Amino acid sequence: MIHYRKDTDHIATLILDMSGRAGNLLNHQIVAAFAPVIAHLKQEKAAGKLNGVIITSAKQDFLESGDLDYLYRLEDPAKAFEAAQQLKQFLRDLEVPGVPVAAAINGDALGTGFELTLACHYRIALADSKLRMGHPEVKIGLIPSGGAIIRLMWLLGIERAYPLLLEGRRYSPQEAHKVGLIDALATDREDMMAKAKAWLLRHHDVARPWDDPNGSIPGGTAADPNLGHRIRLLTARLSAHTNDLYPAKRAIIDLLAEGSKLDFATAYRLDSRYYARVATDPVTKNMISTYWFDKQAVRGGVGRPKGFGKFRARKVGIIGAGQMGSGIAFLCLRNGLQVVLKDVSQPIADRGKEYVSAKIDEYIERGTFQLEEREQLLERVTTTNQSDLFKDCDIVVEAVFENKSVKTKVTREAEEHLDEYSVFATNTLSIPITELGKESLRPANYVGLHFFSPAEKTAVVEVVAGAATSEETVARAFDFAISIRKLPVVVKDSWGFFAARVLNTYILEGITMLSEGYSAALIENMGRQAGMKSGPLAMADDLGLKLVLRYEQQAAEHYGERYKQHPAVEALTVMRDELQRTGRSKRLGFYDYEENGTARLWAGLADHFPVTKESYDRTRMKDRFLFAQVIEAGWCLQEHVIEHIEAANLASVYGWGFPGYTGGVMRYIHSYGEDEFVGRCGELRKRYGQRFTVPKYLRELDNAVLTP
């Protein structure tokens, strides 16, 4: 479990090596194993036989985070508080044995794993840009449990610690060093151990700043008038951005403010109280369920056809050097693949490479990439206007604009140079894959890969199988998405696929409210207050009103006589045909757009859609927005457009911005309550019509399938 070694300079090295596991996990076992080790260290110090301690790992990772399965099922705040206190006591015992302690970080150290390093007096890491460290807990609705918020506040100050904790980023060693999370970098393991030892030999008497009677928090405390004012501004900004729907984010700023005015021991205990409250909050359960368990399920192969070996692409062809194609090229380069980037002319293709180069420079500035890696990355991309360079590509991704004839032309030009095993993928929003596949020279190898914009930032990609697409091709597309760190969601070739089809219900509901007499500003604000990333009218403009209408037309064709026209269609038709306001691309939609990108609601909206509602029901408006999406997701599952609840949840929160605090479209039912959800749908159906009819799939849903 823990190997103990001591050299002639009285430097003890503790090597973490949990038996029976690929990595080290900070749980009750390793805490228990540390107890006799710490007792022995104190004895050695008392005997004058100990000058310092180095903690490192025998595994590829340094130390993993805690047990989320246990935490997900933890309901009692008192137990959560006690668990946090036990971890804090262990870390406190580690940092006050009376000798300096150095963390030699040879692999990933995340969450509670990084908390252990913060309890050390010195942190040095391998300068391997693939390693990650930090506190990503907020991404799954949690805050650190071992006092990291209080320690970082004392080490960095409130204003530097706050964004590090709030963003939940996983830092490369270079980034971590730049922002002050670690103290030094090492070229290799030998260099790291030597530097750690040298530091220990130079620093015999050490104390944490919070244990120094004269110590102070850098930048001051919330009791200082100027800093207190800035904290209030940060809190207001957070509330405006999140509508206070995410308890963990609010807990971070509140704990920093309150903890800064207390002594360390009291703040340390207060930290446990905040943790207990956040850890047992229903929002946290929702987020752990989706952002951890569902994500692991998809990464593990949920939706991937069985029986096919893992596909490992080495070289990727990309057709279209616009923002989407260039973004995909950057993803491929970032993950070690070679890229051939093609467009209609060499200068246009070269501009795509310039976009990639600018992205690399951004990541160098952050510390994710190193300056010496820049040329190595760019050497792996070849720009061209000729399709013959695709001859040894394992997969080609087409990312040209939404036009069937253009897509068909570039597909055939590329396929003439591909072998029988290579995959051809199209990135399309609205053209059926089956229809495009009919024009392919190899329809079995033709598949849809729908990247969301911007490609380099959005986590989900839809894998769309046409009628002729083979299962092996779907499996290969799935594997390719995983290799570039995407979450592949396998969907059927239906109108709007899954994401756009469900998102459209949110857009249509907002436009319906506009025609009902609600003010546009109210509609947009209620959409955001429900937790959506932007209002429905803004999203309509982004997608384009012609496409919003096209999806409705495709729905009418799909359902035939059963289809009942959505009440938003009339208003959409007025906007498109009479007013010629079709969205952001034309800089005229529900919003007016200036050249610099500034958007304002069109002042003339009220002339065509008069505001007649003098009062409104806030809860009902929010329910309409969210229930419309959940119901449509239910129809998609019932019609096998998407097969797996895990994939539906992930596609919703990552793909189009369904509120993350809910855990996604299907997890929302669990948190709302199955019976309550069906009952509320009945009320909405009676008031607004059949679009709020609950699908049979949702009526018969077993609660067990909604939980990990």
Tell me the CATH number at 567.
1.10.1040.50
Would you say residue 609 lies in a domain? yes
Q: Are 451 and 327 in contact (CB under 8 A)?
A: yes
Round to whole Å and give the CA distance between 634 and 491: 14
Q: What is the amino acid identity at position 543?
A: L
Please tell me whether residues 348 and 272 are part of one structural domain. Answer: no
pLDDT value for 392: 94
Render pLDDT for 567-626 as a digit per residue (tens, 0 to 9): 999 999 999 999 999 999 999 999 999 988 899 999 999 999 999 998 999 999 999 999
Q: Are 494 and 502 in contact (CB under 8 A)?
A: no
- The answer, yes or no, to whether residue 374 has pLDDT greater than 70, is yes
Return left, alpha or beta for 651; rule: phi > 0 is left, psi -120 to 50 is alpha, else beta: alpha
Q: Are 328 and 410 in contact (CB under 8 A)?
A: no
The secondary structure of residue 311, as a DSSP letter, is P
Higher pLDDT, 15 or 371: 15
SS3 state at 168: coil
Please tell me whether residues 237 and 339 are part of one structural domain. Answer: no
The number of CA neighbours under 13 Å toward the Cβ of 675 is 0
Round to whole Å and give the CA distance between 331 and 323: 12
Determine the length of the chain. 708
Q: What are the C-alpha distances in Å from 363 to residues 63, 129, 171, 547?
A: 25, 11, 11, 34
pLDDT value for 19: 76
pLDDT value for 704: 61
Q: Are strands 487-492 and 109-110 parallel, antiparallel or unpaired?
A: unpaired
Q: Specify the long-range contacts of residues 78-81, CB closer than 8 Å, at least 24 apart.
A: 78/276, 80/275, 80/276, 80/279, 80/280, 81/272, 81/273, 81/275, 81/276
Would you say residue 593 lies in a domain? yes
pLDDT value for 67: 79
Average of pLDDT values for 161-181? 94
- The answer, yes or no, to whether residue 708 has pLDDT greater than 70, is yes
Please tell me whether residues 121 and 245 are part of one structural domain. Answer: yes
Residue 330, φ and ψ in degrees, nearest 5? -60, -45
In this prediction, residue 1 has a pLDDT band, given cuts at 50, 70 and 90, of: confident
Q: Percent of the chain beyond pLDDT 70? A: 99
Please tell me whether residues 149 and 241 are part of one structural domain. Answer: yes
Burial class (CB in 10 A: 0-12, 13-18, 19+), 73: exposed
- Of 280, 307, 332, which closes a domain? 280
- The answer, yes or no, to whether residue 706 has pLDDT greater than 80, is no
pLDDT value for 36: 85
Element (H, E) at 134: strand 133-134
Render pLDDT for 71-92 as a digit per residue (tens, 0 to 9): 899 999 999 999 999 999 999 9
**What's the chain's Rg over C-alpha atoms?**
28
pLDDT value for 28: 66
- The answer, yes or no, to whether residue 295 has pLDDT greater than 70, is yes
- Tally of structural domains, the chain: 3
Q: What are the C-alpha distances in Å from 646 to residues 184, 185, 666?
A: 40, 39, 8
Average of pLDDT values for 483-493? 96
Please tell me whether residues 588 and 523 are part of one structural domain. Answer: yes
Q: Are 511 and 572 in contact (CB under 8 A)?
A: yes
Point out the least confidently predicted range of 208-212, 229-233, 263-267, 351-355: 208-212
In this prediction, residue 29 has a pLDDT band, given cuts at 50, 70 and 90, of: low
The secondary structure of residue 25, as a DSSP letter, is B
Tell me the CATH number at 69.
3.90.226.10
pLDDT value for 204: 82
- Taking all residues of the chain, what is their mean pLDDT, rounded to a whole number? 93
- The answer, yes or no, to whether residue 662 has pLDDT greater than 70, is yes
SS3 state at 409: helix
Please tell me whether residues 86 and 230 are part of one structural domain. Answer: yes
- The answer, yes or no, to whether residue 65 has pLDDT greater than 90, is no
Question: What contacts 120, CB < 8 A, 6 or more positions away?
Answer: 55, 94, 95, 101, 102, 103
Average of pLDDT values for 281-293? 96
Question: What contacts 609, CB < 8 A, 6 or more positions away?
Answer: 514, 515, 517, 520, 571
**DSSP conformation letters of 521-538:** HHHHHHHHHTT-SS-HHH
pLDDT value for 175: 92
CA 707 to chain centre: 20
Q: Please list the residues that pair with 317 across neighbouring strands.
A: 340, 396
Would you say residue 548 lies in a domain? yes
Please tell me whether residues 39 and 116 are part of one structural domain. Answer: yes
Please tell me whether residues 521 and 655 are part of one structural domain. Answer: yes
Round to whole Å and give the CA distance between 344 and 274: 57
Round to whole Å and give the CA distance between 395 and 315: 7
Of 363, 496, 478, the residue nearest 429 (C-alpha): 496
Would you say residue 239 lies in a domain? yes
CA 325 to chain centre: 21
Average of pLDDT values for 284-298? 96
SS3 state at 185: strand
- Of 280, 302, 332, which closes a domain? 280
Whole-prediction pTM: 0.92
Instruction: Supply the range of the domain harboring residue 539.
Output: 499-640+644-706
Q: Which two tokens stand for residue 214?
A: 């004269």
Would you say residue 196 lies in a domain? yes
Please tell me whether residues 450 and 521 are part of one structural domain. Answer: no
- Of 463, 491, 519, which closes a domain? 491
Please tell me whether residues 525 and 483 are part of one structural domain. Answer: no
Tell me the CATH number at 319.
3.40.50.720
- The answer, yes or no, to whether residue 39 has pLDDT greater than 90, is no
Residue 63, φ and ψ in degrees, nearest 5? -160, 130
Q: Are 626 and 530 in contact (CB under 8 A)?
A: yes
Based on DSSP, count helices (H) and strands (E) in the chain, helices before strands. Answer: 30, 18
Q: Are strands 487-492 and 591-593 parallel, antiparallel or unpaired?
A: unpaired
Round to whole Å and give the CA distance between 245 and 530: 9
Render pLDDT for 220-259 as a digit per residue (tens, 0 to 9): 999 999 999 999 999 999 999 999 999 999 999 999 999 9
Q: What are the C-alpha distances in Å from 55 to residues 113, 517, 582, 656?
A: 12, 65, 61, 43
Q: Which two tokens stand for residue 332?
A: 């491929």
Would you say residue 143 lies in a domain? yes
Would you say residue 634 lies in a domain? yes
pLDDT value for 569: 96
Please tell me whether residues 86 and 201 are part of one structural domain. Answer: yes
Q: Which two tokens stand for residue 185?
A: 């970098």
In 534-639, beta strands by DSSP E: 591-593, 599-601
Find the Cα–Cα–Cα–Cα dihedral 265, 270, 275, 277, rounded to 10°.
Answer: 160
Average of pLDDT values for 439-449? 95
pLDDT value for 438: 94
Q: Are 450 and 462 in contact (CB under 8 A)?
A: yes
Other residues' Cβ atoms within 10 Å of the Cβ of residue 209: 14
The secondary structure of residue 46, as a DSSP letter, is H
pLDDT value for 45: 86
Would you say residue 303 lies in a domain? no
Please tell me whether residues 113 and 191 are part of one structural domain. Answer: yes
Q: Please list the residues that pair with 423 across neighbouring strands.
A: 395
In this prediction, residue 101 has a pLDDT band, given cuts at 50, 70 and 90, of: very high
Q: In degrees, to the nearest 5, what angle opens at C-alpha 657 toward C-alphas 546 and 458?
A: 90
Q: Which two tokens stand for residue 60?
A: 């590829």
